[in-house]
Amino acid sequence: MSASTRIPPIAQPFVSERAKKTLDLVEEFVEKDCIPADAVFSAELGEGEKRWQTTPVVMEQLKEKAKKLGLWNMFLPKNHFTQGAGFTNLEYGLMAELLGKSKIASEATNNAAPDTGNMEVLAKYGNDAQKQQWLAPLLEGKIRSAFLMTEPDVASSDATNIELDIRREGNEYVLNGSKWWSSGAGDPRCQIYLVMGKTDPNNSDTYKQQSVVLVPAGTKGVTVQRMLHVYGYDDAPHGHGHIVFNNVRVPLSAMVLGEGRGFEIIQGRLGPGRIHHAMRTIGAAEKALEWMIARVNDEKKQTFGKPLSAHGVILEWIAKSRIEVDAARLIVLNAAIKIDQGNAKSALKEIAQAKVLVPQTVLTIIDRAVQAYGAAGVCQDTPLAYLWAGIRTLRIADGPDEVHLQQLGRRENRARKDAVIAKLKWQREESDRLLAAAGIKPKSHL
């Protein structure tokens, strides 16, 4: 069954014929070109310092092929941007699931974070000069980029805490402070940082203190101090940098959108990106399930005289995983449809639901697959350990679960409490009235 025939019925009416054809092409490209090349990419990166200086040849080959197939920049939704491949968030979401099955497929099709979010920022908020200088080469996949918000010295899940100082001096901005978890900063092709800091730390409106400026990597005063590991993985050549800014000077033209508009930018940036992550994560779950099925049917590796699949509990793992991944997919596709029907702001609830539910669900599925492999599941011989580590970070990155849950809970409570209390009160009173009419004494103490 091809990918286009597996689209959940609930989403089918919203998917064009062109998107269905592209979806099948994406599947073939991922399964036949990218997944076999994952190991080549890792091997070409090599060992030690070389890992931060190398662009594996296989990546450029895949990019050429993807461009020829028309599998390029599918992430930019057609109702908001003209520069993309012309798909909706839903259509790209279905494609992103398939891309999530390979380490390298997203980059090979120019749909990789953080470039996707950064391109959206530049396309949406950048001026013509900024678009020409940075957006054009990003869209062509010639350079890469990083988004620098999180800081080592403050709790960054509350972005009002961000401290990096952006001071105006004459016709320049001067930046001082440090950032960490700057994903993508390790790549030798990373040429531009989008840096969030404070231009007006004393503004009484705490959401107007921040701004985003464009800082070319390698500007004097920028030091990439170290690269951080994720559960021991370096994620080279992309990586996650700890970067120090010491009197870094950029021209006033480096400001995106305007001083004090930083919050607006980060809010605009994160909505669709969360859907992309969530759908790639669904792809990772499908991959884990495939690996689990392969292991539990391995005739050579039987326990107590039968393959693992003949043990009831294992079939239950497969069944539960199928239920969970299918349910999680619907949550994400629903959020994508809601964005398509309005915008990311009108789909805040649905995006938060997907952002929280999907990584938690998929971690459980991957964990079952790891368990099915025994010790092999925790080492480098399957993709499972790496998948688990990457997806575990999604419960923290782009805002931790607790923050999304708090906002979701607050909104749900505020929106429903008055109507719910009034309705239940009316129903109780109506019950009492009916009971009294029937000559029965009410028993509830509420």
Q: Determine if 145 is a binding residue for ligand FAD (CB under 6 A).
A: no
Pick the binder of ligand FAD from 157, 219, 309, 341 (CB under 6 A): 157
Count of CB atoms situated within 10 Å of the CB of 361: 21
Q: Which is nearer to ligand FAD, 139 or 146 (CB)?
A: 146
Q: Determine if 181 is a binding residue for ligand FAD (CB under 6 A).
A: yes
Count of CB atoms situated within 10 Å of the CB of 386: 19
Q: Which is nearer to ligand FAD, 270 or 372 (CB)?
A: 270
Q: Determine if 399 is a binding residue for ligand FAD (CB under 6 A).
A: yes
* DSSP letter assigned to residue 31: I
Span interacting with ligand FAD, options 181-189, 282-290, 349-357, 374-382, rule CB under 6 A: 181-189
Q: Determine if 400 is a binding residue for ligand FAD (CB under 6 A).
A: yes
In DSSP notation, 285-317 reads HHHHHHHHHHHHT-TTS-BTTB-GGGSHHHHHH
Q: Which is nearer to ligand FAD, 340 or 398 (CB)?
A: 398
Determine the Cα–Cα distance for residues 7 and 75; give it in Å rounded to an integer: 18
Q: Which is nearer to ligand FAD, 111 or 321 (CB)?
A: 111
Q: Which two tokens stand for residue 331?
A: 């949550």
Determine the Cα–Cα distance for residues 337 and 348; give it in Å rounded to an integer: 12
Q: Which is nearer to ligand FAD, 267 or 393 (CB)?
A: 393
Residue given tokens 């499908």 in the structure block: 286
Q: Determine if 148 is a binding residue for ligand FAD (CB under 6 A).
A: yes
Q: Is 328:362 a contact under the CB 8 Å cutoff? A: yes
Using DSSP's 3-state secondary structure scheme, residue 344 falls into coil
Q: Which two tokens stand for residue 193?
A: 């940082």
Q: Which is nearer to ligand FAD, 330 or 389 (CB)?
A: 389
Pick the binder of ligand FAD from 29, 72, 75, 147 (CB under 6 A): 147
Q: Determine if 86 is a binding residue for ligand FAD (CB under 6 A).
A: no
Instruction: Tell me the residue length of the chain.
Output: 446
Q: Determine if 357 is a binding residue for ligand FAD (CB under 6 A).
A: no
Q: Determine if 244 is a binding residue for ligand FAD (CB under 6 A).
A: no
In the complex, least distance from residue 160 CB atom to ligand FAD, rounded to whole angstroms: 11
Q: Determine if 403 is a binding residue for ligand FAD (CB under 6 A).
A: yes
**Residues 43-61, buried b or exposed e (16+ Cβ, 10 A)?**
ebbeeeeebbebebebbee
Q: Determine if 182 is a binding residue for ligand FAD (CB under 6 A).
A: yes
Q: Determine if 150 is a binding residue for ligand FAD (CB under 6 A).
A: yes
Q: Which of residues 183-212 bind ligand FAD (CB under 6 A)?
A: 183
**Residues 155-192, buried b or exposed e (16+ Cβ, 10 A)?**
ebeebeebebebeeeeeebbbbbbbbbbbbbbbebbbb
Pick the binder of ligand FAD from 54, 393, 408, 432 (CB under 6 A): 393
Using DSSP's 3-state secondary structure scheme, residue 151 falls into coil
Q: Is 408:353 a contact under the CB 8 Å cutoff? A: yes
**Distance from CA of residue 397 to its chain's centroid?**
8
Q: Determine if 234 is a binding residue for ligand FAD (CB under 6 A).
A: no
Q: Is 40:58 a contact under the CB 8 Å cutoff? A: yes
Site size toward ligand FAD, by CB under 6 A: 22
Q: Determine if 287 is a binding residue for ligand FAD (CB under 6 A).
A: no
Pick the binder of ligand FAD from 35, 293, 396, 435 (CB under 6 A): 396
Q: Which is nearer to ligand FAD, 221 or 400 (CB)?
A: 400
In the complex, least distance from residue 392 CB atom to ligand FAD, rounded to whole angstroms: 9
Q: Determine if 406 is a binding residue for ligand FAD (CB under 6 A).
A: yes
Q: Which is nearer to ligand FAD, 376 or 403 (CB)?
A: 403
Span interacting with ligand FAD, options 134-142, 149-157, 247-255, 273-281, rule CB under 6 A: 149-157
Pick the binder of ligand FAD from 56, 84, 100, 114 (CB under 6 A): 114
Using DSSP's 3-state secondary structure scheme, residue 89 falls into helix
**Angle at Cα 445 formed by Cα 442 and Cα 446, nearest 5°?**
110
Q: Which is nearer to ligand FAD, 116 or 156 (CB)?
A: 156
Determine the Cα–Cα distance for residues 73 and 89; give it in Å rounded to an integer: 12
Span interacting with ligand FAD, options 63-71, 175-183, 315-323, 364-372, rule CB under 6 A: 175-183
Determine the Cα–Cα distance for residues 247 and 167; give it in Å rounded to an integer: 10
Determine the Cα–Cα distance for residues 232 and 179; give it in Å rounded to an integer: 20
In the complex, least distance from residue 189 CB atom to ligand FAD, rounded to whole angstroms: 16
Q: Amino acid identity of 129?
A: A
Helix (H) or strand (E) holding 446: none
Span interacting with ligand FAD, options 54-62, 147-155, 215-223, 313-321, rule CB under 6 A: 147-155
**Interface positions with ligand FAD (CB under 6 A):** 114, 147-150, 155-157, 181-183, 230, 240, 393, 396-400, 402-403, 406
